[in-house]
Each structure stands twice: as C-alpha cells, then as structure tokens.
C-alpha cells in the first residue's frame, strides 16, 4: 500500500474479506472499453457503439436463459453485481422479445427517484428514443410517460398507487422489482401485494432483482416454482485500506484522502461516500478552496456531487466519460452504492456512515439519523472501485470498527413510521396488517403508533376503518398524512389557495440557499420574505413574490439567493395538487381571498398538532408528544430539541411551536419546518389528543 501525508491507512488483514468482490477471469480490455465509451464520430458509429456496449455487459451472456425462465415461470429472482446490466438491459430484452405486444407495459420499480429517472434516460438513449416516448418514468409529481410508453421506470411508491386504481395491474405484462435487496418499505409492500396478484393473473410475470447474494428469502417467500438466476459480474480485486486510528471527523478525512489519492495514486476516478447534501457541499467547497495548493503539473479535477434531488442535466454529467488529463471526483450519498452505476471509478472513499430514516418510539416519529453503515453496505461501496480494473477502497474507520458493524441494514418497514403506508394498505382493502403475509413483518409498536396517529388525524374511526371522506381522501393524496390533512382541512378555514402553495413548497427542498462566500448578502435578501409565524408562512411569501413580482424569472430568483429550480418545481406541484383536490371534490376559489396569518396557522396546527413543542428559557424546546401531550414527566432530556440552523425560526423566540421535520445530528436533535402557534390552538385542533395538558 502507499502511505501518504496525514492519512493513516492500514491494509486489510490477509483473511480474504467476506466481501464477495471476486476477481472473475476477465478478458475485458480496459483501453478498448474506455475507447468505446468516448467514441462518437458519426451517428452511425454511435449506434454501433451502444450495441457493442450492451453486448459487453455481463447480463448479455444470459439473455436467452433469462427470457426462457421468464417465459416458463411466473416469478424469477435475478441476482447480479451492481453494473452487470440488470436495470438497463432486462427491460429491453423483454421489450425486444415481444412482452409489450398488445399495448402491454413493462414496469421496473426503483426505491429512489433519482435511479428511476437516470436509468430511464439511459435506456431511452440506448433504444434511440426521447424520454417519455417508448421509455418513460414516473416519480412523485413528475410523470414523463405517454400513451406510446412501453417501458416504464417508476418508484416503488408510484406502482403501489397504480394498484389503488388498477388492482390487478392489468396494463402490465411484467413487473420488475429492482434493487429489492434495499428492502424499502414500498418494495416490501409491493412484493407482498404482488404475491396475491399473481394468483389472479397467471399471465403476469414478476422479476425480483437484487444486487446482493442473500436472495433466498425472496425465493422462499414466493415458494416453489420460483426460479433463481445469478449473473456473474465482472469484478476486479479491490484493495481494502483501513484507518489505523479512528477519525473524529470523517468529512475532513475525506478531503485529506482525496488530495493524497490525487497526489500519490495513478489515474482513475474517485467516488466518495458521505451521508448527505450538506457534507457533500462542504467537501466540494473545500476542494475548490485548496485546489491552488496542487502542483501545476497535476491533472485537472472534475468534481461532481451526487444526491437525490439533483436535476436531470447534473445527473447526466456524472455518467459523461472523463475528459483526458482529468480526474473525476464524485462526492455522493449512498445513492451510488447500488442504485446508480458509474464507470471508471478506481478509488472509493467510504466514510462508514449512512443517513437513515428511523422511527424513534420516544418521539413517536421518524427522524433522520446518521448511523454506521452495515457490512453489506461497506461491501457494496468497495465494489464500486472494481468495475473496470483493480481498485482501492479507503475505509475511514478501523478494521476493528468494521468487525463491529451489523451484517445488514434492517428493512425500512421495521424501522420507520408506517402511517403513510398503512393508510394506503387500508385503501387497498387490506385491513389487518398482522395477518398479512410479508417478507418481514413490522414490529407491533410501529403498527400501533401508526394506527394511533391516523386515528388522531381523523383518518381512521374507532374500528380502524378509513373514515369517509377524510381518510379516503388522505389515502389518495400523494402527501404525508399530516400535510395531507392540512390541505384537506383548508376548505374549512377558507385558505385552500394558501395551503396549496404551502404544501407545494413543503414538497421541494432548499428554497433558500446560502453561498459560502456571500452568506451575509443572502441573509439580507431572505429577510424580506421571513415572517414571525415561521418557515411555512415564509415559504408562502417566497412563492407569492416569485410568481407575482418575480414573474417566475430565474434572474429574479438568483438575485435573491432563492433556488430557482425548486421554485419552478413548486409551481408545477401546486398545479398537480390543485388537480387532486378538484378530483376529490374540494372546490378551489378562483382568487385567493385574504385570510389572516392566524387562520393559516390554525389550519397548519390541524395537521401538525402531534408535533408540538414548548420553548425553554435556554432556547431549547421540550416536545409535547410521547405521553399524550404531557411535557412535564420527561426529565431525561430525550424530548429536548433545538431549532435547526436553516429554519427561519433559528434564534427567534416563540413559546409554542409545531414542526414538520426532525433531524438528529451528533448528540442533538433538531426540528425544522417550524411554525409559531398559540397553545389554545392545539386544544382546539385536537381536544382528545391534548386533554391531558388542559388542566396544566
Ligand atoms: O442494474 P445494474 O447495476 O446491474 O447495472 P445497470 O444500471 O444496468 O448498468 C449497466 C451499464 O449501464 C453500466 O456500465 C453503467 O455505467 C451504464 N449506465 C450509464 O452509462 N448511464 C446510466 N444512467 C445508467 C447506467
Ligand atoms: Mg441497477
């Protein structure tokens, strides 16, 4: 191994890691491969090149046997390393073999939005159509399909919504559940529902595709007749390097490691895994700042971020071949772990952590928590380095720490709030979750808490049946149940237009941005929109100004340090939500009648009342949830939270607040999406929920 300044890595001990990165005998010529990827001399040549690229993928050798298996058995489990061609090729083979004849469609589900759109874009290019023609995708608030669409990539959540409308999925001939190893909540629910559907639709085919070898559970679940096929991935050996001493700060270590790879290691692109967008931005900024210290002779750096919510054009740059004399550095969340394959990566830096949504029984809600990744994750991440040639993986933790990691991440269904999924299952007529045949059933407490929340929101009655119309309408809205409730209640408060705007703005992220070198100016601009009521009403002001005074111009938004793309998206989402409301029979006044901020806040409280907190003299807040609204009992500090620095309520005071989001960072818990309220409004909105605190 090479030892380099400041960063101490030790090679992995000689026991061949359980990492299943095998060096299969490999006849692939690297230079030929890269040559092919960059060749684009004439249109004809390009087409030939795509065909050859497709035929060089490991899955191609199995094309005929795959098609045969799918013809002959209803469920096929497909296993192959990331990059072997499962997501991009399988749908095309089915299409070529006639599975879309008679106007049928092929669905391929992804747990992540970004994977759905980027894989669809790739397949459209390979087929030679525009996105939304033969190949399209559908994610929440974005439907890029047309009547011509035959291959449809979609998030797993979107397919479940289609089942609400078309319970037997009659338009589809094949459903491919991709990235099944990730075990997202909706993937697990789909697998469970599909098991029922295939009994009634003998012609329907199901493909469960997984990037890890633990696929027995899928085979056992579907039972005899299920076929399993494993496609050898082309994997080169990856050197695993561990820190000799644990690091206090993996973000700083990532930056150091990038620079020492760049200074000491031969050509090859770098992929670094971090946990979220803020960390990614921080690292990218630091690289820009320190770039000048590099010798003039060093290759140029091309630094790209990768995280959910990235625009289509930014996504595409990740996949573009690296120009000569340049080293590409991709700083990513765990989206690059298996969902998105990037070629040319030789060095992987693994921070060892992942940001997960996890249910906190104490708080009775999900929070985003940075937790140690699992061994399975670490293996996947390391594997990204061995796609095109021998690679190196720098693990920013010690080998002893690795040994302590859990084998796998528990399925999402067992660790997150179930209110949304439960609502949809109810709408599907599946009432008793306990009797449902699932891959791994959720813990009872999670189910009970979800039922309780839905009951308190008024979506379920005393018999745990969906209420009419509220519960049924809530299930149809593509929003979190609390936010959905607010939108549906808006009619009673006479603020439908205001709430549509707020709900749309809550469905996009990072409306305000702060350039590192110009924070002051940004804060001054933002101050013009900020109101004492808090985040949600401030978002409303931004939207109003953007659409009325700003005439939706990008120049206007940039001058005010507002995220133009997010605002444009909010305009589109608002229109879609308005169509949902109309469909549900809620009338939308043609002009927004003036309502008092107080009325809008009361409407917000009607949905977010379970997330209430009271400010303490030191500026921290004490949560009211957890014990039917009593805040007095807890002395262990577990229900103490702080206002997130990006909230407009940061460093402002408010005695009582409700909030939409909770994030754990280190030892502190932060709330965001904060609205200042009056205590009495809590009692008005939810007398049963808050009766305990009344006599306070
Ligand atoms: O699904 P799996 O991980 O098995 O592989 P895939 O996503 O089908 O990727 C097969 C090939 O397509 C890889 O060489 C990717 O780099 C390439 N690809 C691409 O160039 N652009 C995309 N947006 C997606 C995949
Ligand atoms: Mg894939």
Ligand index nearest the alpha carbon of residue 91: 1
d(Cα 391, Cα 237) in Å, to the nearest integer? 7
Return the residue matching tokens 């497709």: 54
Nearest residue to 138 via CA among 165, 164, 163, 156: 156
How many angstroms is it from 281 CA to the middle of ligand 2? 26
Catalogue all structural domains in the chain, each as residue range(s) with its CATH number.
2-11+235-412 (3.40.50.300), 31-231 (3.40.50.300), 425-590 (1.20.120.1080), 609-685 (no CATH)
Which atom of ligand 1 lies closest to the CA of 316?
23
373 or 689: which leads in pLDDT: 373
**DSSP result, 497-516:** HHHHHHHHHHTS---B---G
Rounded to 5 degrees, what are φ and ψ at 155? -75, 155
Task: Please say if the pLDDT value at position 483 is more than 70.
Answer: yes
For 289-335, the pLDDT digits (tens) are 888 877 777 788 999 999 887 777 777 788 888 888 899 999 999 88
- Give the three-class secondary structure for 601: helix
| Spacing, Cα 78 to ligand 2 middle (Å) | 11
**3-class DSSP state for residue 134?**
coil
CA 179 to chain centre: 13
3-state SS record for 255-291: HHHHHHHHHHCCCCEEEEECCCHHHHHHHHHHHHHHH
pTM of the entire predicted model: 0.86
Q: Put the strands of the sheet holding 300-306 in their side by side order.
A: 9-11, 238-243, 391-398, 345-350, 269-273, 326-332, 300-306
Task: Tokens for 229, please give them.
Answer: 């096929």
**Tokens representing 573?**
């989402």
| Helix H or strand E encompassing 678 | none
Residue-wise pLDDT tens digits, 354-387? 999 888 877 778 888 889 999 999 999 999 998 8
Half-sphere exposure (CA, 13 Å, Cβ side) for 650? 10
In the block, residue with structure tokens 């095309």:
92
User: Measuring from each residue's beta carbon to the nearest atom of ligand 1, which residues come in under 6 Å?
Assistant: 57, 80, 82-89, 118-119, 121-122, 319, 341, 343
313: part of which helix (H) or strand (E)? helix 312-319
Instruction: Report the 3 state secondary structure along 614-677.
Output: EECCCCCEEECCCCCCCCCCCCCCCCEEEECCCCCCCCCCCCEEECCEEEEECCEEEEECCEEE
Mean pLDDT comparison of 130-144, 329-343, 628-642, highest-scoring range = 130-144
Give residue 176 CA to ligand 1 midpoint distance, Å: 16
**Residue 177: closest CA among 161, 194, 198:** 194
CA proximity to 643, closest of 677, 666, 610, 620: 620
Task: Among 56, 61, 85, say which to mutate for ligand 1: greatest number of ligand atoms within 8 Å of CB.
Answer: 85
- pLDDT value of residue 28: 25
- pLDDT given for residue 509 in this prediction: 81
Nearest protein Cα to ligand 1, atom 17 = 341
Contact present, 335 and 257 (Cβ < 8 Å): no
> Higher pLDDT residue, 545 or 434?
545
Rounded to an integer, what distance in angstroms lies between the CA atom of residue 116 and that of residue 87? 10
Q: Residue 89 CA: which ligand 1 atom is closest?
A: 8
**Is residue 401 pLDDT above 70, yes or no?**
yes
Nearest CA to ligand 1 atom 21: 122
Q: How far is the CA of 137 from the centre of ligand 2 (A)?
A: 15
Write the pLDDT tens digit of every residue in 435-477.
888 999 999 999 999 999 999 999 999 999 999 999 999 999 9
Query: Ligand 1 centre and the CA of 186: distance in Å?
Result: 23
Return the number of other C-beta atoms located less than 10 Å from residue 377's C-beta: 23
Number of helical H runs and strand E runs in the chain:
25, 24
Question: Which strands make up the sheet holding 365-372, listed edge to edge?
Answer: 353-360, 365-372, 661-665, 668-672, 640-643, 621-623, 612-615, 656-658, 675-677
Q: In residues, how long is the chain?
A: 696
325 close to 254: Cβ distance less than 8 angstroms: no
Out of 63, 122, 304, 338, mutate this one to test ligand 1's pocket (max ligand atoms within 8 Å of CB): namely 122
Q: How far apart are CA 564 and CA 146, in angstroms?
A: 27
Q: How confident is the model at residue 9 (pLDDT cuts 50, 70, 90)?
A: low
Substitution site in 82, 88, 234 for ligand 1 pocket (most atoms within 8 Å of beta carbon): 88
> Which ligand 1 atom sits closest to the C-alpha of 387?
14
Which residue is closest in CA terms to ligand 1's atom 10? 85
pLDDT at 36 exceeding the cut of 70: no
Spacing, Cα 459 to ligand 1 middle (Å): 42
Neighbours of 630 (CB within 10 A): 14
Could you tell me the distance, in angstroms and rounded to a whole number, from the CA of residue 182 to the centre of ligand 2? 11
């Amino acid at each position: 191994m090479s030892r380099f300044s400041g960063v101490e890595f030790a090679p992995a001990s000689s026991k061949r890691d359980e990492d299943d990165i095998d060096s299969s005998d490999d006849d692939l010529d690297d230079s030929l491969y890269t040559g092919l990827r960059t060749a684009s001399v004439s249109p004809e040549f390009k087409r030939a090149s795509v065909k050859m690229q497709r035929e060089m993928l490991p899955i191609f050798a199995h094309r005929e046997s795959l098609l045969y298996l799918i013809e002959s058995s209803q469920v096929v489990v497909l296993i192959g390393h990331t990059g072997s061609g499962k997501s991009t090729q399988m749908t095309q083979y089915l299409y070529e073999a006639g599975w879309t004849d008679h106007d049928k469609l092929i669905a391929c589900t992804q747990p992540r939005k970004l994977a759905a759109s980027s894989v669809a874009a790739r397949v459209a290019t390979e087929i030679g159509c525009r996105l939304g023609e033969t190949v399209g995708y559908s994610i929440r608030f974005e439907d890029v399909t047309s009547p011509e669409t035959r291959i449809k990539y979609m998030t797993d959540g979107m397919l479940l919504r289609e089942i609400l409308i078309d319970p037997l999925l009659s338009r589809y001939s094949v459903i491919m559940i991709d990235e099944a190893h990730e075990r997202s909540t909706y993937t697990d629910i789909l697998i469970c529902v599909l098991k029922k559907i295939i009994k009634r639709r003998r012609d329907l085919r199901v493909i469960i595709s997984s990037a890890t070898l633990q696929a027995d559970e899928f085979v056992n679940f579907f039972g005899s007749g299920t076929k399993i096929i494993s496609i050898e991935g082309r994997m080169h050996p990856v050197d695993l390097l561990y820190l000799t001493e644990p690091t206090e700060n993996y973000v700083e270590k990532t930056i150091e490691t990038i620079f020492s790879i760049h200074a000491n290691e031969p050509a090859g692109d770098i992929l670094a895994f971090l946990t979220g967008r803020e960390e990614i931005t921080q690292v990218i900024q630091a690289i820009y700042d320190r770039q000048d210290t590099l010798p003039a002779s060093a290759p140029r750096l091309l630094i790209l971020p990768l995280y959910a919510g990235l625009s289509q054009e930014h996504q595409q740059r990740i996949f573009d071949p690296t120009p000569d004399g340049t080293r590409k550095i991709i700083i990513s969340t765990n989206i690059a772990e298996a969902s998105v394959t990037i070629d040319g990566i030789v060095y992987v830096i693994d921070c060892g952590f992942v940001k997960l949504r996890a249910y906190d029984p104490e708080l009775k809600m999900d929070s985003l928590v940075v937790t140690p990744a699992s061994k399975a994750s670490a293996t996947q991440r390391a594997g990204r380095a061995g796609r095109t040639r021998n690679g190196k993986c720098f693990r920013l933790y010690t080998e002893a720490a690795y040994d302590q990691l859990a084998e796998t991440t528990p399925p999402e269904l067992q660790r997150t709030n179930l209110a949304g999924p439960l609502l949809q299952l109810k709408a599907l007529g599946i009432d008793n979750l306990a009797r449902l045949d699932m891959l791994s059933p959720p813990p009872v407490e999670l189910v009970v808490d979800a039922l309780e929340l839905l009951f308190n929101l008024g979506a379920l009655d005393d018999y745990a049946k969906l209420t009419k119309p509220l519960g049924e309408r809530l299930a149809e809205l593509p929003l979190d149940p609390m936010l959905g409730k607010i939108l549906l209640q808006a009619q009673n408060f006479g603020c439908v237009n205001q709430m549509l705007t707020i709900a749309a703005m809550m469905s996009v992220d990072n409306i305000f941005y702060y350039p590192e070198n110009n924070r002051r100016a940004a804060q001054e601009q933002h101050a013009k929109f900020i109101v004492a009521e808090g985040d949600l009403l401030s978002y409303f002001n931004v939207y109003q100004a953007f659409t009325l005074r700003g005439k939706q111009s990008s120049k206007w938004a940039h001058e005010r340090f507002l995220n133009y793309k997010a605002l444009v998206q909010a305009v589109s989402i608002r229109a879609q939500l308005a169509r949902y409301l109309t469909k549900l029979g809620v009338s939308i006044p043609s002009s927004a009648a003036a309502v008092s901020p107080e009325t809008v806040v009361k409407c917000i409280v009607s949905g977010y009342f379970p997330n209430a907190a009271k400010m303490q003299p030191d500026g921290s807040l004490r949560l009211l949830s957890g014990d039917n609204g009593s805040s007095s009992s807890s002395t262990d500090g577990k229900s103490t939270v702080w206002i997130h620095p990006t909230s407009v309520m940061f460093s402002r005071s408010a005695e009582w607040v409700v909030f939409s989001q909770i994030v754990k960072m280190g030892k502190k818990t932060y709330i965001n999406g904060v609205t200042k309220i009056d205590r009495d409004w809590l009692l008005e909105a939810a007398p049963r929920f808050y009766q305990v605190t009344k006599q306070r």
